[in-house]
Structure 1
Amino acid sequence: MSNTLLRIYPSELKMPFELRKSNTGCIELVNKTDQRVAFKVKTTNPKKYAVRPTSGIVPPGGSCGITITMQAPKEIPQDYQCKDKFLIQSVIVQEGITHKDIVPEMVSSCSTRG
């Protein structure tokens, strides 16, 4: 799906799979508008990943870094193929709205990354 509010870099996040070792990747959200944009990050596998921050507000023309940490796997599953995905939702918000005010109903899907 096309995203007109935020640029997401990199467009695809890749992390090595290592037994008993957690790995971290970072993505950057860049606000392409002249308005404040709220975002929320979701994943298809929330027990496997720690996402920080999970939501926030990017100022006009500003950027925000997001750290995604994959929990240390204890074993390699048979026929392992990672199909985990991340969804970044965004919406333009007015001055005075804080990241604590962001609820799922406010944001619309803007991009999917896996």
Structure 2
Amino acid sequence: MSKPFELPLTIEPEHELRFVGPFNRPVVTIMSLRNNSALPLVFKIKTTAPKRYCVRPNIGKILPYRSTQVEICLQPFIYDQQEKNKHKFMVQSVQAPLDADLTDLNKLWKELEPDQLMDAKLKCVFELPNVDTNAENNSGGAINSGSGSGSGAGSVGANISSTSADGLKSEPKLSSDDMPSNLPETAEIVESLSGEVKALRESNSELRKENLHLKDQITRYRSSAAIKQVNEPYAPVLAEKQIPVFYIAIAIAAAILGLLLGKYLL
């Protein structure tokens, strides 16, 4: 029988990356890569959600018939069981050419042709801790405590049922365990917003005072202008009264001068 074809790169796990919560803290899973060929293998790991994951290393080389491990860290987030997870990873690999410089993998990767790459896709699966496992652990503790104290089988059964019920009631809270982790950020946001509101109120109060001051100045200016307009018509009247007196004085002076000249000539 012929030997079955073996891919140059073997990935473990092969199809899914599982992350077990709670997700209010970083969750790490390990991916194993094995080179099954007689040539060095260069790989690069990509994801559809690069801001959610930290991959170390995301690019590297594997010597012939050797293995390496990649650490994938999921960043804390608010987990919702109703939300569908669409995160995926893609492992790209290629057998390094004989004359390739393996000291600068980024430069080597840019020089490769896309049709030379081998792709493998894995989907991400989010899981919460098993409820049944926690209930069994709690019930086991209750049985041990009951036998140590010398209590009867009835009290042991009651402890088991009560512990299991408590585990079932408290377990759904795991889906919201990550919410307290965001409380400090929320408090900082509320505090900063309250400070901005306070500053806006102070600015509004100052603008109101300035507006009232400007209104007061405008009122004073209008009142002073009105007084001047009331006093202005009396000046022409005085001028009109002064003009006839001036002419009368000139006429009297001319008459006196004429009399003097008449007397002198006669």
Give me the whole-angstrom Cα distance separating, in 2, the residues matched to 1:76 and 1:10: 23
The answer to whether residue 106 in structure 2 is matched with residue 97 in structure 1 is: no
Structure 1 residue 105: Cα displacement: 5.8
Give me the whole-angstrom Cα distance separating, in 2, the residues matched to 1:34 and 1:40: 19
Give me the whole-angstrom Cα distance separating, in 2, the residues matched to 1:41 and 1:62: 18
Structure 1 residue 109: Cα displacement: 3.5
CA contact (8 A) 1:89 1:110 kept: yes
CA contact (8 A) 2:101 2:108 kept: no
Higher helix share: 2
Root mean square deviation of aligned Cα: 2.0
Secondary structure of 2:79's aligned partner: coil
Specify the alignment match of 2:65 in structure 1: 61
CA distances 1:26-45 after superposition (whole Å, capped 9, x unpaired):
01100010000100000010
Q: How many residues align?
A: 111
Which deviates more from structure 2 when the two are superposed, residues 54-63 or residues 8-17? 8-17
- Specify the code of the residue in structure 1 equivalent to 2:101: G
CA contact (8 A) 1:87 1:109 kept: no
Specify the alignment match of 1:39 in structure 2: 43
Give me the whole-angstrom Cα distance separating, in 2, the residues matched to 1:28 and 1:88: 11
Secondary structure of 1:21's aligned partner: coil
Structure 1 residue 5: Cα displacement: 1.8
Which among 96, 101, 110 is matched to residue 119 of structure 2?
A: 110
Q: 1:102 to 1:77 in 2, by over 3 A?
A: farther
TM-score by length of 2: 0.39
What are structure 2's unaligned runs of at least 5 residues?
A: 1-5, 124-266
Q: 1:103 to 1:96 in 2, by over 3 A?
A: closer
Which of structure 1's runs of 4+ aligned residues deviate more than 6 A?
none
CA contact (8 A) 1:36 1:92 kept: yes
Structure 1 residue 77: Cα displacement: 4.2
TM-score by length of 1: 0.85
Comparing both chains, which one has the higher relative contact order based on Cα–Cα distances under 8 Å and sequence gaps of 6 or more? Answer: 1
CA contact (8 A) 1:33 1:60 kept: yes
Higher strand share: 1
What are structure 1's unaligned runs of at least 5 residues?
A: none
